[in-house]
């Protein structure tokens, strides 16, 4: 993996995403391999009123408290990184702290585990964390397993407006786009393109 942008200025990115019409901002706080830090949430919070998702490999209640303290509105919980008891506990901790939990899945078993644990928002990662292969059909396959009252987010591998449209047609309530925007010279324009 690695840092996606050499010119990483969280406040500037937050302004661009806000200007482009993003509904929320995902802040990668994982240090190893990505260079993210929890403090980046504070910087983004000072720059925008949009909801902020802490994107990290959260495994400890402290990380949820830390996210709240930094100004996040939601945390990412990855089913593949947690056992069933941890997942249920972390969803409850997030709720008790006033944070939403976006529960990330990649297959049918993980989707069932997320729903059983009480997830109110499910994010389908198109990237297989074991092989790093990307397949947008994962959202199309898993959408039918997630009740319509649960927020459904299509994550990773969105490369342009056609992919965004494909995810809307598959029934996604939202898309989470990272690499495309981080590599874009004009992320605000890119967001406007994706949301047309």
Q: What is the pLDDT along the chain (196 residues), one digit of tens a residue?
A: 334 455 678 999 999 999 999 999 999 998 766 678 999 999 999 999 999 999 999 999 999 999 999 999 999 999 999 999 999 999 999 999 999 999 999 999 999 999 999 999 999 999 998 899 999 999 999 999 999 999 999 999 999 999 999 999 999 999 999 889 988 999 999 999 999 8
- For residues 49 and 40, give the distance between their C-alpha atoms in angstroms, rounded to a whole number: 15
Q: What is the pLDDT of residue 129?
A: 82
Q: pTM of the prediction?
A: 0.93
Instruction: Identify any residues that bridge with 105 across adjacent strands, giving them in sequence order.
Output: 124
Q: What is the pLDDT of residue 7?
A: 63
Q: Give the other-Cβ count within 10 Å of 154's Cβ.
A: 29
- Give the 3-state secondary structure of the chain: CCCCCCCCCHHHHHHHHHHHCCCCEEEECCCCCCCCCCHHHHHHHHHCCCCEEEECCCCCHHHHHHHHHHCCCEEEEEHHHCCHHHHHHHHHHHHHCCCEEEEEECCHHHHHHHHHCCCCEEEEECECCCCCCECCHHHHHHHHHCCCCCEEEEECCCCCHHHHHHHHHHCCCEEECCHHHHHCCCHHHHHHHHCC
Q: What is the pLDDT of residue 3?
A: 45
C-alpha closest to that of 39 among 28, 48, 50: 28
Angle at 50 between CA 66 and CA 148, to 5 degrees: 90
- For residues 155 and 139, give the distance between their C-alpha atoms in angstroms, rounded to a whole number: 9
Q: What is the pLDDT of residue 2?
A: 37
Domains of the chain with CATH codes: 10-194 (3.20.20.70)
Q: What is the pLDDT of residue 30?
A: 82
Q: What is the pLDDT of residue 90?
A: 99
Q: What is the pLDDT of residue 52?
A: 98
- For residues 187 and 171, give the distance between their C-alpha atoms in angstroms, rounded to a whole number: 24
The pair of structure tokens assigned to 159 is 């490369």
The pair of structure tokens assigned to 116 is 């059983």
- Whether residue 51 contacts residue 25, with contact meaning beta carbons closer than 8 Å, is answered with yes
């Amino acid at each position: 993996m690695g840092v996606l942008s050499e010119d990483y200025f969280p406040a500037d990115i937050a302004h661009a995403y806000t200007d482009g019409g993003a509904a929320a901002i995902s802040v990668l706080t994982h240090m190893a391999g990505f260079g993210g830090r929890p403090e980046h949430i504070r910087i983004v919070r000072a720059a925008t009123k949009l909801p902020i998702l802490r994107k990290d490999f959260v495994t400890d209640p402290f990380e949820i408290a830390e996210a709240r303290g930094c100004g996040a509105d939601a945390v990412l919980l990855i089913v593949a990184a947690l056992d069933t008891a941890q997942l249920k506990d972390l969803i409850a901790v997030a709720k008790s702290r006033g944070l939403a939990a976006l529960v990330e899945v990649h297959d049918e078993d993980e989707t069932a585990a997320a729903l059983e644990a009480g997830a109110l928002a499910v994010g389908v990662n198109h990237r297989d964390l074991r092989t790093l292969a990307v397949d947008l059909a994962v959202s199309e396959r898993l959408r039918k397993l997630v009740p319509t009252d649960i927020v459904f987010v299509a994550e990773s591998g969105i490369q342009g407006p056609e992919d965004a449209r494909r995810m809307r047609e598959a029934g996604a309530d939202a898309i989470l786009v990272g690499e495309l925007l981080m590599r874009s010279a004009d992320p605000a324009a890119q967001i406007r393109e994706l949301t047309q």
